[in-house]
Amino acid sequence: MKHIYLIIISAVFFTSCSQTGKQGNSEKQPIQESPGPKLEMLWESDTLLTTSESVLYDETNDILYVSCINGVPPTAQDEDGFIAKISPKDGKIIDEKWITGLDAPKGMGLFENKLYVTNIDEIWTIDIESGEVIEKTTVDSAQFLNDITVDDTGNVYFSDSGTDKIHLLDTNGELSTWLVSKELGRPNGLLHNGDRLMLATSGAGTFNYIKYNDKMVNLLVDSIPSGDGVVKVGDDYLVSNWNGEVYFVNSKWEKTKLLDTKDDGKNTADIEFNQKEMILYIPTFFGNQVAAYKLEK
């Protein structure tokens, strides 16, 4: 019964989040051949990062933050979720449970000395220097708060994959629903980019942009199922498919699959990119790790 229960939970999560994980042979993972961009594995962390969902690079402190749901289902209000600190150089775990007491932490955003984290139906604000939780903001009627992005002035945008909404926590601490639309297609990955938000959808499987001034959802690329993380690479992008794929999307909106770890049972959840070092960081979810890859263009 236990095995059946876990299988059912995993199937439900596939439709809700952005599938399974086990350690695999890293030599199989880079699949894109020259010419063109490709990924080369650099390292994998220890497997203590249980259900690692999102990774975020703090350039000021040269640290990676990793949000860990710590089991399934990803909506359980069990207070066993945590945020870890690991080294961006080799994946060494510096502080396994730096922040504890979350239920199922997912997306993270950084502005000045504050770290923002979604936690099912609330958003946590954490002081990076002290490691103290400054505030917990409850979002009424939220079902599955997911990814976060922060604009240049500190406005925090975050998706709710369960209600087709994008919320806003502004610089004054005021909470509002910024956009609600079925066209959001179970919104997940968000990225602030000038005058627009970039959006990867976990339901529709699309990559889109939304201009701040008109809030219209504009399709760029389709057929990226279970879209999860979005990062910028110069004028191009990397977009992850939670099931275990990473796509390179160029400025002409042509996509190329760079990575496929589905056969290894490793997910590719909410990714991060170090533009200076050209390193992609991937939380492997059920793989309980973060993996780092060098991007060669």
For the chain, give the secondary structure using H, E and C: CHHHHHHHHHHHHHHHCCCCCCCCCHHHCECCCCCCCEEEEEEECCCCCCCEEEEEEECCCCEEEEEECCCCCCCCCCCCEEEEEECCCCCCEEEEEEEEEECCEEEEEEECCEEEEEEECEEEEEECCCCEEEEEEECCCCCCEEEEEECCCCCEEEEECCCCEEEEECCCCCEEEEEECHHHCCEEEEEEECCEEEEEECCCCCEEEEECCCCCEEEEECCCCCEEEEEEECCEEEEEECCCEEEEECCCCCEEEEEECCCCCCCCCECEEECCCCEEEEECECCCCEEEEEEEC
pLDDT at site 29: 53
For residue 26, being part of any structural domain is answered with: no
For residue 278, being part of any structural domain is answered with: yes
Over the stretch 207-253, which tens digit does the pLDDT of each residue have? 999 999 999 999 999 999 999 999 999 999 999 999 999 999 999 99
11 contact partners, CB below 8 Å, separation of at least 6: 19
Alpha-carbon dihedral sign for residues 106, 15, 30, 207: negative
CATH number of the domain encompassing residue 84: 2.120.10.30
For residue 235, being part of any structural domain is answered with: yes
For residue 192, being part of any structural domain is answered with: yes
- Rounded distance, CA 23 to CA 222, Å? 29
For residue 111, being part of any structural domain is answered with: yes
For 225, the domain range is 2-21+31-296
pTM of the entire predicted model: 0.89
pLDDT at site 36: 86
Residues of the chain with pLDDT under 70: 1-35
pLDDT at site 151: 98
- The percent of residues above 70 in pLDDT, for the chain, comes to 88
pLDDT at site 112: 95
Q: How many domains does the chain have?
A: 1
For residue 47, being part of any structural domain is answered with: yes
For residue 217, being part of any structural domain is answered with: yes
Q: Tell which residue, 166, 45, 56, 175, has the closest CA to residue 106.
A: 56
For residue 191, being part of any structural domain is answered with: yes
